[in-house]
Amino acid sequence: MTGKQYRLWMFSSADESAQQGVYLLHRLPWDLGWLGLAAVAAGAVILVRGHRAAGILALLLTIASVAFACGYVIQDVDSYLLACLLGLGLAVAAGLMALGERFGLRACIGAGVALVAVNVGLHWSSCDASHARAAEVYAGDVLESLPRDAVLLSGQWDQLLSPSYYLQEVEGLRRDAVVVSPFLLHYSWYLDELRRRAPGLVQALGDDLSRYERLAERLENGRPCDPTDAEKAYARLVNRLFEATSASGRPVCVTGDVALPLPAGVTIVPQGLVLAVRRDTTYVPEPFPRYRGRPEPGPVDSYVATVLWSYGLSLANRARYEQRHGHPDLARLYIRRALDFDPGWRRERLPTQAAGGRELTVASLEFFERLRDLQASIAPTPSSPWGMTRPR
């Protein structure tokens, strides 16, 4: 159990590791309510003087956790600080113990209760996730917007792929659709999982799948294999996926993050929250969308920013599509709907975030800024009510 496939995120960038370190320096004192730093310092002295084994354990836990978290350049790094908090917690416990030995049990309990109260007051709103339904709602909106029996290729793991597993497998939402990760197609275990979940789709891949599986297995096990041959086999597998799915009459869709070697002669049409892959260029109408997603109150979050950006981008793509087909009034309606997903955060007030988090949040805000410029560039027709109302 090596976790080999995650190595590309470990110490992959010195700048991002440094950014992760800055985030940890901001995060850890805040998690301890700042007052906890005094307890940590006092406890560290006690451990060094009288409980050296426990002190070494606390130190190793803290150093190992921080080093791992700095090297693992992902956004959701907080869970990897649990070992660090355990090490610091040992020091806090030692500090409270020393306080009790010197000033009595009441002082020890009072200080402990005060630390808890301070942390509850500081962190309750940011830790309260009862309203955090962005991924659930977005994944549900994507699935419900898909054509019947669609095959969707998406790399949106956090906001779409992983929530779709729960929604489809547990709640039974749109089980007719198959959601596929092009990135995970590189791994043999995922092909086995896809074979269980969509046996008909996998069977249609035929020899292209068998050929690619043999090469993927060699790469995974460190056996001699030409990576170029593997990439060519992967491209043939993806092309075969499109061909087999189209031949069966099933619609093929992708999300905007997917950059794949699409077969010749296909075109992309924005439909719902995805892009439909079609073999003709005729105009495809759709009902005006009624999504459940919307900006929610809460702290700045790069994952929420990404979800809102996905909504806005899909609607903006549809606006451009309507504009190209001579429907400027409808294009403006789509842009106005897209602007409803602007979270309204101010760039100068964004908090310190883990590696990549701030960049994603800023990119999302910049997208909505450009969207307002696009809205102003689409001139209304004389019959359009937009000519008499102030754009939002």
pLDDT tens by residue, 241-276: 888 888 888 899 999 888 766 667 788 899 999 999
Task: List all residues 6 or more positions away from 72 whose beta carbon is below 8 Å from its beta carbon.
Answer: 9, 10, 20, 80
Do 275 and 369 lie in a common domain? no
pLDDT tens digits for range 99-151: 998 999 999 999 999 999 999 998 888 888 888 889 999 999 999 999 999 99
For the chain, what is the domain count?
3
| Distance separating alpha carbons of residues 61 and 50, to the nearest angstrom | 19
Beta strands, E only, 85-219: 151-153, 178-180
In a domain, 64, yes or no: yes
Q: For residues 248 and 156, what is the distance between their CA atoms, to the nearest angstrom?
A: 26
Length of the chain (residues): 392
Among residues 97, 95, 110, 101, the alpha carbon closest in space to that of 39 is found at: 95
Q: Are residues 84 and 222 in the same domain?
A: no
Evaluate whether 18 touches 10 at the Cβ level (below 8 Å).
no
36 and 167 co-located in one domain? no
Residue 249 contacts by C-beta under 8 Å, 6 or more apart in sequence? 149
Of the residues 287, 319, 353, which one is the last residue of a structural domain? Answer: 287
In a domain, 343, yes or no: yes
- Residue 277's φ and ψ, nearest 5 degrees, are -95, 115
- Alpha-carbon dihedral sign for residues 170, 176, 177, 183: positive
List per-block mean pLDDT (blocks of 10 residues) for the chain, which spans 392 residues: 78 86 88 86 90 92 93 88 92 92 92 92 86 91 94 92 94 95 86 89 85 80 77 83 83 84 78 90 91 86 92 94 92 93 89 86 92 72 35 28
Same domain, 215 and 164: yes
The residue behind tokens 């992760």 is: 20
Tell me: do 117 and 155 sit in the same domain.
Answer: no
The strands making up 267-271's β-sheet, listed across from edge to edge, are 178-180, 151-153, 252-254, 274-278, 267-271
With respect to residue 2, please indicate whether it lies within any of the assigned structural domains.
no
Name the β-bridge partners of 278.
Answer: 267
Residue 254 phi, psi dihedral angles, 5° rounding: -135, 160
Residues 136 and 245 in one domain: yes
Residues 331 and 202 reside in one and the same domain: no
**Phi and psi torsions of 179, nearest 5°:** -100, 125
Q: How far out from the chain centre does Cα 319 lie?
A: 25
Q: Which domain holds residue 390?
A: 294-392
101 shares its domain with 145: no
Residue the block writes with tokens 């547990």: 170
